Amino acid sequence: MTESSLRTIKIKDLKPGMYVHEILDHSGKLKVKSRGRVSSDAIVAKLKARGVKEVVIDEARQDDDVPKDSTVAVTVAPEKESEDPGSANVTIEDELARARKLHAKGKNIQKQLLKSVKKGLPFDNAIPRDFSHSLVESIDRNPNALVCLTKIREKDDYLLEHSLNVAILLANFGRHLGMSTKEVEDLAYAGFLHDIGKIQIPDEILHKPGRLTDAEMTVMKEHVQRGVDVLVETGISEELIRTVSEHHERLDGLGYPAGVSGDDISHTGRMLAIADVYDALTADRVYKAGMPSQKAFSILMADSPHKLDKDLVQQFIKCMGVYPIGSLVLLSNERLAMVMEQTDAPLAPKVKIFYSVRNQHFLEPKDCDLSAEASLKVVKAALGSDYRIDVNGFFERAVAPQ
**Does 94 lie in the same domain as 45?**
no
d(CA 63, CA 199): 37
119 and 161 inside one domain? yes
Q: Which tens digit of pLDDT belongs to each residue from 199-214?
A: 999 999 998 888 899 9
Rg for the chain (alpha carbons), in Å?
22
85 assigned to some structural domain: no
| Together in a domain, 114 and 228 | yes
135, 70: one domain: no
77 pLDDT tier (thresholds 50, 70, 90): very low
Given a contact cutoff of 8 angstroms between Cβ atoms, the answer to whether 92 and 142 are in contact is: yes
Beta-ladder partners of 378: 331
Question: Can you say whether the dihedral through the CA atoms of 67, 69, 71, 77 is positive or negative?
Answer: positive
Let me know whether 257 and 145 are in one domain. Answer: yes
β-pair partners for 76:
32
Q: What domain range is 32 assigned to?
A: 3-79
Domain finish residue from 320, 337, 353: 320
Rounded Cα–Cα distance for residues 85 and 314 (Å): 24
Q: What is the mean pLDDT of residues 40-59?
A: 79
The reply to whether 213 and 284 lie within a common domain is: yes
Q: Does the pLDDT value for residue 229 go beyond 90?
A: yes
Domain termination site, one of 299, 320, 341: 320
Q: Are residues 189 and 96 in the same domain?
A: yes
Average pLDDT, the chain: 86
How far is residue 62 from each of residues 16, 34, 84, measured CA to CA in Å?
Answer: 9, 15, 33
What confidence category does residue 155 fall into, taking pLDDT thresholds of 50, 70 and 90? low
pLDDT value for 298: 97
Distance of alpha carbon 186 from alpha carbon 350, whole angstroms: 31
- Which of these three, 29, 44, 79, is where a domain ends? 79
Which pTM does this prediction carry? 0.79
Q: Which residues contact 338 (CB under 8 A, 6 or more apart)?
A: 148, 326, 327, 328, 351, 352, 354, 391, 394, 395, 399
For residues 242 and 236, the model is more confident at: 242
Instruction: Please state the length of the chain.
Output: 402
Strands 52-58, 328-331: pairing kind:
unpaired
